[in-house]
């Protein structure tokens, strides 16, 4: 696991001694801070910091998930990439 | 014209809480925030053109599992598009719709522990962060 180096020009808000919020386009979010044996600080995203789950989002939209067959019929012709 | 556009695009819905969770934390003047808000405005008003959609991987190399999801590369119309918006396909009374699932960068720098759009989408789908 690699440490994240904090730049001086990044806005950092301390919630308490083991949590920070970064306001940066690439690293925005709230992290727990854990000291590593080599002296670096490891920042882990806070697990509950992602808002509502997919099932809630679909329910709020009045929608249901498509079945794999339905998805293939509707979108099977669309391209993929190697990202995620 | 309207009928032709409807056939080429899919309607999209955005949950204010989820969008705010991803975008609200960004600086008001950041490029990422502007891109996300412009995409939401475009997709809400006109739907998402099918030509802008890419299928997410059922088993991604980053450990994410996003079967049933689609993504758009952002910003629209530009050659360099580092941001991704992940949407989940759903069926409702209005027919086929895409529901906003996550926004972020597609590929984080190696040293970064900030979640990508795919990791956030995985978390919202499966209730935990992806593991390789």
Read off the pLDDT of residues A4-38 as tens digits, 9 standing for 90 and up. 544 434 455 444 346 677 777 777 776 767 777 77
Residues 6+ apart with CB under 8 A from B54: A78, A79, A80, A81, B70, B71, B72, B73
Asked if pLDDT for residue B10 goes beyond 80, the answer is yes
pLDDT for residue A16: 37
Q: Could you say which of B50, B60, B99 has the minimum Cβ distance to residue A63?
A: B99
Q: What is the mean pLDDT of chain A?
A: 74
**Helix H or strand E encompassing B68:** none
Q: ipTM exceeding 0.85?
A: yes
Interface probe, candidates B90, B94, B117, chain A, greatest A C-beta count within 10 A: B90
- Residue B122 pLDDT grade (very low, low, confident, very high; cuts 50, 70, 90): very high
Asked if A39 has any chain B CB less than 8 Å from its own CB, the reply is no
Asked if pLDDT for residue A62 goes beyond 80, the answer is yes
pLDDT for residue A18: 61
**Short-list A9, A12, A8, CA closest to A23:** A12
Residue B35 lies in a domain: yes
pLDDT for residue B53: 98
Asked if A32 has any chain B CB less than 8 Å from its own CB, the reply is no
Asked if pLDDT for residue A67 goes beyond 50, the answer is yes
Cross-chain residue pair A45–B115, CB shorter than 8 Å: yes
The Cα A45–Cα A31 span in angstroms is 4
- Residue B44 pLDDT grade (very low, low, confident, very high; cuts 50, 70, 90): very high
3-state helix, strand, coil in chain B (%, to 5): 35, 30, 40
- Chain B residue numbers with beta carbons less than 8 Å from the beta carbon of A65 are 68, 88-90
Tens digit of pLDDT for each residue in B57-116?
999 998 999 999 999 999 999 999 999 999 999 998 778 899 999 999 998 766 666 789
Residue B131 lies in a domain: no
CATH of the domain at B88: 3.30.2310.20
Asked if A23 has any chain B CB less than 8 Å from its own CB, the reply is yes
pLDDT for residue A2: 43
Number of domains in chain B: 1
Could you tell me the maximum CA-CA distance found in chain B, to the nearest angstrom? Answer: 48
The Cα A14–Cα A20 span in angstroms is 5
Cross-chain residue pair B67–A71, CB shorter than 8 Å: yes
Domain with B93, as residue range(s), is 2-126
Residue B132 lies in a domain: no
Residue B74 lies in a domain: yes
Tens digit of pLDDT for each residue in B11-38?
999 999 999 999 998 889 999 999 999 9
Structure-token pair, residue A62: 């009045």
pTM of the model: 0.76
pLDDT for residue A46: 63
Asked if B60 has any chain A CB less than 8 Å from its own CB, the reply is yes
């Amino acid at each position: 696991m690699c440490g994240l180096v904090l730049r001086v020009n990044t806005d950092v808000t301390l919630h308490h001694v083991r949590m920070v919020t970064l306001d940066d386009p690439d690293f925005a979010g709230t992290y727990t801070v854990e000291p590593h044996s080599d002296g670096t600080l490891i920042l882990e995203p806070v697990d509950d910091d992602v808002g509502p789950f997919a099932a809630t989002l679909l329910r709020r939209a009045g929608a249901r998930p498509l079945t794999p067959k339905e998805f293939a019929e509707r979108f099977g012709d669309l391209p993929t990439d190697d990202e995620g | 014209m309207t009928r032709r556009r409807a056939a080429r695009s899919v309607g999209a819905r955005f949950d204010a809480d989820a969008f705010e969770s991803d975008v609200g934390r960004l600086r008001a003047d950041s490029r990422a925030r502007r891109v996300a808000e412009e995409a939401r405005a475009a997709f809400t008003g006109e739907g998402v053109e099918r030509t802008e959609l890419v299928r997410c991987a059922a088993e991604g190399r980053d450990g994410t599992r996003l079967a049933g999801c689609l993504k758009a590369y952002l910003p629209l119309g530009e050659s360099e598009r580092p941001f991704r918006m992940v949407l989940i396909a759903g069926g409702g009374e209005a027919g086929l719709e895409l529901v906003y699932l996550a926004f972020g960068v597609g590929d984080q720098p190696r040293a970064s522990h900030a979640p990508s759009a795919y990791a956030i989408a995985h978390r919202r789908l499966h209730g935990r962060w992806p593991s390789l």
